[in-house]
Structure 1
Amino acid sequence: SRIEREPDYSAVTARLLLEQLRLETVSALDLSTEVPLAEIYPQALSAFIHAGIRYELLDEALAAFDLERLGAALKPERDRQFGFLGLQTLYDRYFLHWNKARLELPQVFFMRVAMGLALREDDPNARAIEFYELLSSFDYMASTPTLFNSGTRHSQLSSCYLTTVGDDLEDIYGAIRDNAMLSKWAGGLGNDWTPVRSLGAHIKGTNGQSQGVVPFLKVVNDTAVAVNQGGKRKGAVCAYLESWHLDIEEFLELRKNTGDERRRTHDMNTANWVPDLLIERMREDRDWTLFSPSDAPDLHDLYGNEFRTRYEHYEALAEQGKIKLFKKIPAKQLWRKMLTVLFETGHPWITFKDPCNLRSPQQHRGVVHSSNLCTEITLNTNADEIAVCNLGSVNLAAHIADGELDVQRLERTVNTAVRMLDNVIDINFYAVPQARNSNLQHRPVGLGLMGFQDALYQLGLPYASAEAVEFADLAMEQLSYFAIRASATLAGERGAYDTYDGSLWQQGILPIDSISLLEKARREGDFSVNTEARLDWAPIRELIAQHGMRNSNVMAIAPTATISNIVGVSQSIEPAYQNLFVKSNLSGEFTVVNPSLVRDLKAEGLWDNVMVNDLKYFDGSVQQIDRIPTELKARYATAFEIDARWLVEAAARRQKWLDQAQSLNLYMAEPSGKKLDALYQLAWERGLKTTYYLRSLGATGAEKTASAAAPAPEMAPQPQVCSIDDPDCEACQ
């Protein structure tokens, strides 16, 4: 409770918890309680590995490591990096335990994860130490499933799985079974439901009519609740549907709190898979036709101009009466409804089919039919392939030195991180064979970043500024450069991935080049993306031409909700939510205060009890506290005080360097139809592949956060406000 007045109390509390953990662990491992932690660590590693194998928690292969050498490599002083929230999260949910007693100390935990990832290396001891150094320094953090399961007997290390559901009962219930099996071992799920025929479609076998997609989604919802990953975290699934599917209007309402409960899914996420053609029709105020996939089966696998041609062919068949089951609606009406339910329920998220496919390095081997649970993965799926992605994130805040990006440190981090991610693929436990086949063939990984907001604080830049957008571009280009180079270097050592021939990589088309493929498919005026590069990419192109790529996909920016807590930095690419708030998660409630703000206010002589109370009154906002300088008000503007278009502009700069996508939350204090329409059209024009949650404030919250923060970027005039749920709203004109 003292943390709100002095952030350093977070470290003090973490030390107290560490002492409690020491006593608990050494007792469980039969070690001396009298020896200080720094001296107990080398023995603790060896004792833990043997106990873990004895209790059938750990892979027996860990006993083959040189435990004395690894124990000597542990760095007890790194325990002092933890804040209370980070250590309590590890204590509650990550450290392995037996009979409710923790068996792992923090540095032992990081070494266990590193050992698990080094099992198949030529020199596993040296690599385990290298991986440990990276994790324990907080320069990089592996994803939650990797931290949970690395080195254990069930090494399910992947974060997310993407599936396509076929159009018959056996396929549908097979997909639901796969969901349960994958969810059991802590994987988040993205299901593509577009192939399933719509309500009213003919069923040949029974000569009856289909009930459509929605009743099955209710079963998926309840399966996610029932299989909750062993109590470690909630089971989580997202259903995707293309916007031409005849059930789309009912799909949009799945998360509503009113209506028939049998046709609602309150625990499941949903996302729209939007083709460019719908946006074009909406902009031209033309009609949009909805079909059952049983009448237009190939639309599912088409994108770009091929989709447009075939879609218009089916529209002509419908006009001629050759397709009986279809529905014509104004495209604006559907778009408006998408934005309305997004505002009301936060779902379905809006994701864009064509950018995901036209820029996919693997378009020679199939189609991206959906993203994942958090909208950053864009991998092919079909009846025989469940796409798998293995994630980890660079802590960008740890790579700022002397007011600029520490490029050499970033290079070292990325080289080791890509190797660790590639190792995951071979070590991974696969709950279903389609996931194994897909992952071993294509070897996709997703290196992301976190601590972007903290990096901006260190640089003294407001999130809502052209300088922050430039930094997003600079940092992502460097990360992309090193990540692609690391994968190509690994290909030289281990061989290229199996399906490399024919890929965009093999054609010499890097992510920065694939923007032109999207631009060619768009009409004039529908595309506006900065394509400048700072680095010399010629050596990377030569390296790929020489060795190929080890991984079909290399980068994706995930939300990092939990691992950023562990490391103690801001989530992913998110702006600060509030400068003082109480965070609730599975570990309890934690006071979180922005240490950068406190440091800057102390420098100005402004940090006192009155300031704490003011921050509480204004819900963590500094905008209405008169004594705070204008410069600090801009720098510490919170998510709802930043014009959301700045988030889109920064995301667009990152997207040009990414072979996958990014989890992009958008914040709007007072949403309106016009504002949302302008925002999501801007996201589309800037070539974004996906968006994630839309967060909005209640009226009372919005009143308090009236902002003196930075104005909106210049590219678009401030839209006039209108009510989003007004049926006469002209937002889309």
Structure 2
Amino acid sequence: MSTSISREPADGDAFSVVNAANDSEPGYQVIRRNGSVTPFAGDKIAVALQKAFLAVEGTSASSSRRVHDVVAELSEAIIAGLTRHATAGRTFHIEDIQDQVELALMRGGHHKVARAYVLYREERARERAEQVAQNPQAKPQLQMKSASGQLVPLDEARLKHVIEEACFGLPSVSSEAILTETKRNLYSGITQDELALAPILAARTLIETEPDYSKVSARLLLDKLRREVLTFVEGSPREATHQQMCELYPNYLKSYIRVGIDADQLDPELALFDLDRMAAAIQPDRDLQFDYLGLQTLYDRYFLHVETKRFELPQAFFMRVAMGLSLREEDREAKAVEFYNLLSSFDFMASTPTLFNAGTRRPQLSSCFLTTVPDDLDGIFKSVKDNALLAKYSGGLGNDWSRVRGLGARIKGTNGESQGVVPFLKVANDTAIAVNQGGKRKGAVCAYLETWHIDIEEFLDLRKNTGDDRRRTHDMNTANWVPDLFMERVEKDGDWTLFSPDETPDLHDLYGPAFKYAYEAYEQKAAKGGIKTYRTLKAKDLWRRMLTMLFETGHPWITFKDPCNIRSPQQHAGVVHSSNLCTEITLNTSNDEVAVCNLGSVNLAAHTTPEGIDQARLERTIATAMRMLDNVVDINFYTIPEARRSNLRHRPVGLGLMGFQDALQILRLPYASEEAIKFADQSMEAISYHAISASVNLAAERGSYQSYEGSLWSKGILPIDSLRMLSDARGGVAFNEDATLDWKALRERVKTVGMRNSNCMAIAPTATISNICGVSQSIEPAYQNLFVKSNMSGDFTVVNAGLIRDLKARDLWDEVMISDLKYFDGSIGQIDRIPDDLKALYATAFEIDTAWLIEAASRRQKWIDQGQSLNLYIANPSGKKLDELYRLSWHRGLKTTYYLRSRSASHVEKSTLKGTDGKLNAVSVAPMQSIPASDVRACSIDDPTCEACQ
């Protein structure tokens, strides 16, 4: 029996659901096909669905309890889907509503009703097309609300030109498709801001089908940004295309500097530069190289603004950073141009604090601060205050708490018993929340505690969601500072004794054989009754509990005290008591010195060709990058004197890398391969060689750092050489020492000329700056090949452009493949028609055996004088697997590890519906857990509030 759906008058049909307001959906509006806008009425959806069931099932459906319940359930799902996907203007097109109705019917298994509904929509679309063809003049002229509030004709010709310009040079995209989708979402009375947003959203819906639409979206965002910026430029038009902006940039740059100084945001000294020379160096076409995620992130979080209007374009942003880093240079214009070219080419990117603050009135440019907390009330609360001051301008913090006496220890001044370290950690946790880094991101801190501390078991529980909330720190990262002796006891199934540091104060500063000697002496003393506060347990039991907490909460991380100290170039000048927030910094701390590190990352992908690394280009990049990082030390705004003293004395910097997996894919090397391990080794060797060489050159020009004499550098011991020191301390354990470059000659230069920087290398997470550059973050394998990344800039569809290119080359890219990628959560391992070589090359983080990540990290670690942020991914975790991986990390000489990742409960939305902006359920990676993902407070892989991920 044929079925049909009853029809209301044109554009007022039951499925339009646009006629009446509804208090349950406040503020949402519907764009009708004639361009008018009416309030959204959610109750009309139920009416439309009821009519659909009536049309298919007959009049009996009207009294059916089953149909009533189904309609109510479907209506709720449809409204939820609409509001989840609403544009910034809180509007839906009538077609969006009908898409959601169709999708809900299909998902609910109501296939007959859905089929009738689809046929109905197709028939109505055909009728509308015939009406337009018969009377083209009937199409209404849309109007736009100007800035003054007047209605003016909408300039469709300019809209078309802007979209075509955004598509120029990208043959795989269609300006017509974007224009059609844009027009579908226009209505009479649309504001300028909504009009600017419409083509961006239209292009975003197509990213999952073709990665180049990400660049189109970014270029359309530029048009919106230019409109904001030009309001600050006297005598300029109120809007401009990219080509027009190329001519306006020189005049704009001068206005930008003036506006920034007048707004009390830019350093007045920038006005003393030769601005004509600076403007001549600007390369406006570099505005076009961004992907959408990168530019949107800059727009939301980095570009300077007055109230809500940005006055900083991308090339002005890079020039501002470059000028801010060259203030102390003799020929500062020349150096500013050199720095600008490096940043704007994406060959190297400075860290987020440097990008935030360079060239501003408060240039706090450093990334990381490490402190050690004393065992007295004044010192503890001074440390908390220092945390607040350091975090205010975007610094990430690592605090060593191992000196604070433990629970039950005697307080001499009151003859009472200590509450232990946990209550003070709670205060530090709440301080990090209160100081939100200038409103740009939440303050973030990591607390470290040594494994012999009497409070270590309570410390392990800090991130649990159960227990006394007064002894929990839900927002603080935590890390174990593990001595080698503990790992040896674990391997030998020995005992382990916990002490309070007030009775064993020297353990804090000891490592290697000296630590073992002192620790065993304290164990003997405790056995004889000479120590009041201690507890003995099996080392394996404590190790098992450490791994269990990692499983449940993602914390505390596992970091290794002895490798950090034995291989430290600065062991003559102090002790490394902890790492930083992201576990890549290993610098000395004391009462008088707060360690500071200044970070930036080389884009390895930009220096890799199918033939290998472009050594000449890499050398040029690193020479300039090291100069920029060294300049940070002198220009930096220090909020506490201990940080200034330390940084000027030792001048440490941390040159890292990003785009490692992109480089592997350029070379066609799977991450899980011996060739990739070799590339990790040789690429890090090249970075190490050029970084050390650049520091030597700076020392020849500017002098060595103050504490150089007595360092490992001064003895000709480079990072590759210190590996043998760790080998000796562990009883002759062998490490890979392969090398390919001329280290002998460099070793002699270091000894005779000196070093400008006590430390040169550290691999940071780069989660945000790699987004800016459009490459994979840090040394990470790709999380997924298709997913939605959620951060402070919103939800963004991310696709692996390399994979798409390869699939197109083999004629495998089609809508079925897109559907398969969604179904398998962005992984290709289970898609049969993809060849095995591509499956290996584009394997995602959870498809790669974690041991490969550790082996690659081990090869890098031998060249690095600090550490690396190393995430471990485990698809199917078990206690045995965790034990093996963390023991392997220790055996391979790693200094630290970072997050332990497992799959979360959320997955890609398995939908082939078009026009959803790839609104898959946001894919995140939660720490390993035995509790619902919604209850986990530990950081997920793209947590926008966590400094560690930025």
- The reply to whether TM is greater than 0.5 is yes
Task: Quickly say closer, same or farther: Cα 1:484–1:262, change in 2 above 3 A.
Answer: same
The one-letter amino acid of 2:851's match is: R
Aligned equivalent of 1:687:
893
1:269-668 matches, cutoff 5 A: 269-523=477-731, 527-668=733-874
Answer yes or no: is 1:192 the counterpart of 2:400: yes
Whether the 8 Å CA contact 2:609–2:667 is kept in 1: the answer is no
Q: Deviations over 1:42-70 (max 9, x none)?
A: 11111111111111111111111000011
Once the two structures are superposed, residues 418-477 of structure 1 have per-residue CA deviations (whole angstroms, 9 ceiling, x without a partner) of 000000000000010000000000000000000001111111111111110000001000
Q: Which residue number corresponds to residue 112 of structure 1?
A: 320
Give the direction of change, closer, same or farther, for the CA distance of 1:180–1:25 in structure 2 (3 Å limit): same
Counterpart secondary structure, 2:863: coil
Tell me, yes or no, if structure 1 residue 21 matches structure 2 residue 225. yes
- Give unmatched runs, 5+ long, in structure 1: 705-722, 726-733
Conservation of the 8 A alpha-carbon contact between 1:376 and 1:663: yes
**Partner of residue 50 from structure 1, selected from 246, 258, 270:** 258
Q: How far apart in 2 are the matches of 1:47 and 1:413?
A: 31
After superposition, what is the alpha-carbon deviation per residue over 1:274-296, rounded to whole angstroms, capped at 9, x for unaligned? Answer: 00000000111110000000000
Shift of 1:404: 1.2
Distance 1:271 1:390 in 2: 22
Q: Which amino acid aligns with 2:232?
A: A
1:263-320 deviation line (CA, Å, top 9, x unaligned): 1111110000000000000111110000000000000000000000000010010011
Alpha-carbon distance in structure 2 between the residues aligned to 1:387 and 1:545: 25
SS at match of 2:288: helix
1:598 alignment partner AA: I
Give, in angstroms, the shift of residue 507 of structure 1.
0.6
C-alpha distance in 1, partners of 2:906/2:276? 59
C-alpha separation in 1, matches of 2:583 and 2:339: 28
CA RMSD of aligned residues (A): 1.4
Contact 1:463 1:646 in 2 (8 A): yes
Are 2:232 and 2:255, in contact at CA under 8 Å, matched by a contact in 1? no
Whether contact under 8 Å (2:232, 2:259) holds in the other structure is no
Secondary structure of the equivalent of 2:464? coil
- Note the C-alpha offset of 1:698: 4.6
Opposite residue 271 of structure 2, the aligned amino acid is A
Q: What secondary structure sits across from 1:388 in the alignment?
A: strand
Q: What's the secondary structure of 1:63's corresponding residue?
A: helix
- For residue 600 of structure 1, report the CA deviation from its aligned partner: 0.5
Distance 2:904 2:283 in 1: 47
1:343 shift after superposition: 1.1
1:339–1:676 contact (8 Å) kept in structure 2: yes
The 4+ residue runs of structure 1 with deviation greater than 6 A are 699-702
Equivalent-residue separation in structure 2 for 1:698 and 1:240 (angstroms): 26
Deviations 1:388-410 (A, max 9, x none): 00000000010012431111110
Q: Could you tell me how far apart the structure 2 residues matched to 1:22 and 1:699 are?
A: 41
Tell me if the contact between 1:671 and 1:724 (Cα under 8 Å) persists in the aligned partners.
Answer: no
Distance between the aligned counterparts of 2:465 and 2:930, measured in 1?
18
Amino acid at match of 1:694: L
Counterparts of 2:779 and 2:591, CA distance in 1: 34
What's the offset of the Cα at 1:28? 2.3
Residue 134 of structure 1, CA deviation: 0.1
> Could you tell me how far apart the structure 2 residues matched to 1:528 and 1:235 are?
41
Alpha-carbon distance between aligned partners in 2 of 1:149 and 1:307, rounded to the nearest angstrom: 42
**How far apart are 1:543 and its partner, in Å?**
1.5
Q: Distance in 1 between matches of 2:840 and 2:930?
A: 29
Length-normalised TM-score, structure 1? 0.95
Q: Quick check: which has more Rg, 1 or 2?
A: 2
**SS of residue matched to 1:322:** coil
Question: Is the Cα–Cα contact under 8 Å of residues 29 and 103 in structure 1 kept in the other structure?
Answer: no
How many residues end up aligned between the 2 structures?
704
Task: Report the AA paired with residue 853 of structure 2.
Answer: L
Counterpart code for 2:273:
F
Q: CA deviation at 1:231?
A: 1.8
- Partner residue, 1:709: none
- Cα deviation 1:212-262 (Å, max 9, x = unaligned): 000111111111111111221111000000000000000001001111111
Q: Conserved in 2, the CA contact under 8 Å of 1:386 and 1:434?
A: yes
Question: Gapped runs of 5+ residues in structure 2?
Answer: 1-204, 911-928, 932-950
Identity percentage of aligned residues: 69
Matching residue of 1:710: none
Give the TM-score of the pair, scaled to structure 2: 0.73
**Maintained 8 Å contact 1:672/1:724:** no
Report the alpha carbon displacement of residue 29 of structure 1 after superposing the two structures with TM. Answer: 2.8
Residue identity matched to 1:697: R
Map Cα deviations across residues 195-227 of structure 1 (whole Å, 9 max, x no partner): 000000000111100000001111111111111
Change in 2 beyond 3 A, CA 1:239/1:372: same
Offset at residue 700 of structure 1 (A): 8.6
CA contact (8 A) 2:610 2:666 kept: no
Which residue pairs with 1:78 in the alignment? 286
| Secondary structure, aligned partner of 1:584 | strand
- 1:327 aligned partner, one-letter code: R
Secondary structure at 1:554's aligned position in 2?
A: coil
